[in-house]
Structures are given as C-alpha cells and as structure tokens.
Amino acid sequence: MSLEIVDVSVHYGGNKAVSNVSLQAPLGRITGLIGPNGAGKTTTFNACSGLLRPTTGTVRLDGHDITHRSPAARARMGLGRTFQRMELVNAMTARVNVALGAECPLVGVNAIRQVFSTGAQRRAVEEATTGALELCGISHLADRTVGTLSTGQRRLIELARTLAGGFRLLLLDEPSSGLDEEETEEFGAILRHVVSERGLGILIVEHDMALVMTVCQYLYVLDFGHLIFEGTPAEVQASELVHAAYLGSEAVEVAVP
C-alpha cells in the first residue's frame, strides 16, 4: 500500500500553487515533504487528503484512483491526517480525546452507532484507545485533562488519536510546531517506533530540519510549487540546489542515521 500523486497541479485562478508534482509515500517509511513557506506543501497535503481537488493530475491510494473521492471516503480507505493547528477538546481527558479517533470510523458509516453501539464495538474502541496511548508512551496521561498538559504532550495525544483510527497512511502537517528541542527529539523517536511497530506509512511536512533528517528515509523538496529535488536525507544535504532554495548557505549539517 502506498499514497501516490502523479503530475498534480493546483491552480487558483492565474496562480499556480502546485505544478506537476509527483511523489510516493509507501508503508514502512517516513517520507518528508520540505520547502520554504509558500512552496505548496500544505496545498499538496490538501490534494492528498481530499480537502481540495487538483486542477490536473491523479491521486492514488493502494493503487486506487481517489482523485475525486471525499476526505471521508479516503479516511475509510486508510488515509489519516493531522493539521498544523491542534484540534483537541481541552475540557476532556486524554483518553476521551484519543477515543474519538476510534469512534469516528463508526460514525462515518452510521452516525447512530455512536449512540447505540454494541458491546463489541465499545470494546474495540477501548482496545484501540488503550493501544494508541501505549504506543505513544502516554498511558500515564490518560485521565489528565488535555487543557492542563504541555504542548509536547498534546501533540502526542493528537498522534495517538489518529493511530486509534486504524489508518495505515498518515499525513502529518508540521507536528513538531510549538515543541522544544527535547520534546521534538522524543516525538521523533515515537514516530520511528510507531512505523516499526505497525508498519505504517507517514508523509510529513516539517520545518525542523533536525527532526526531518533524523526520522525521514526519503525527502521531496518543493519550491514555488515545483518539485526541485528528491532523495535521501544525505543526498538532500549535499544538494547545492536545495541549499540555495531552502536550507541556506549556512545551514547546520545534521547527522543522518
């Protein structure tokens, strides 16, 4: 299974936000999408998740053309997403927030199931919630009110909620935003653990190059809506084109695994 976009372009009137971009995010790999602000990264994410329809090009999931399918249909096929701005319910506990991820697939099929769920469905939600909390190493926060937690802890709750939904491919939009260096390092370790344990595929948009270079196995670089480079983190670091467009001539080299 993989997420693949082929020659995708997104135009807003005369503005070409993304032009003929192709990339692939397979299972078992963390794939990075990087570039300066305004490069077209979030637009590409929106085309992948169904929040907008490409002007031209094709989006495929597990070999199926999903270009014209709704976000809900894509989610039912196994594609999950987080956003740069966290959307958690601050007045509820971490466990309840994560459980929402497990309940949403039931509601997507039939909303009445959330009110009149069977015993088997309730047990499945509980197991998915517990498993996601454990996988992210935040079981000890399960009964804490989300509004009292740090940004780093809230980012992990957001990730756990997505994992509870059972998605096979995740789109993570700047998940380290607001985290300090220690929290970012912990978040990266958990991402690698999640992929190792579940074999998920992750496509991540991120500006923290230390995180990107440590967790990603393959990178795509956008600039002004165009794909200007792709390759391993080491190849990206060695590219003069990428340094000129994004990393900068004084960019700090990050040791890649």
Q: Six-digit token pair at 157?
A: 């709750």
Helices and strands per DSSP (H, E), number in the chain: 9, 10
Radius of gyration of the chain (CA): 18
* Span 138-167, pLDDT tens digits: 999 999 999 999 999 999 999 999 999 999
* 224 or 115: which leads in pLDDT: 224
pLDDT (0 to 100) of residue 250: 39
Distance, in Å, from the CA atom of 37 to the CA atom of 41, rounded to the nearest integer, reads: 8
Distance, in Å, from the CA atom of 118 to the CA atom of 111, rounded to the nearest integer, reads: 13
**Domain residue ranges in the chain:** 1-78+167-257, 87-166
CA 210-194-81 angle, to 5 degrees, is 80
- What phi, psi does 186 have (nearest 5°)? -65, -40
The average pLDDT across 27-43 equals 94
The average pLDDT across 84-101 equals 93
The CATH class given to the 1-78+167-257 domain equals alpha beta
Q: For residue 257, give the 3-state DSSP assignment.
A: coil
Mean pLDDT of the chain: 89
Q: Residue 101 forms beta bridges with which residues?
A: none
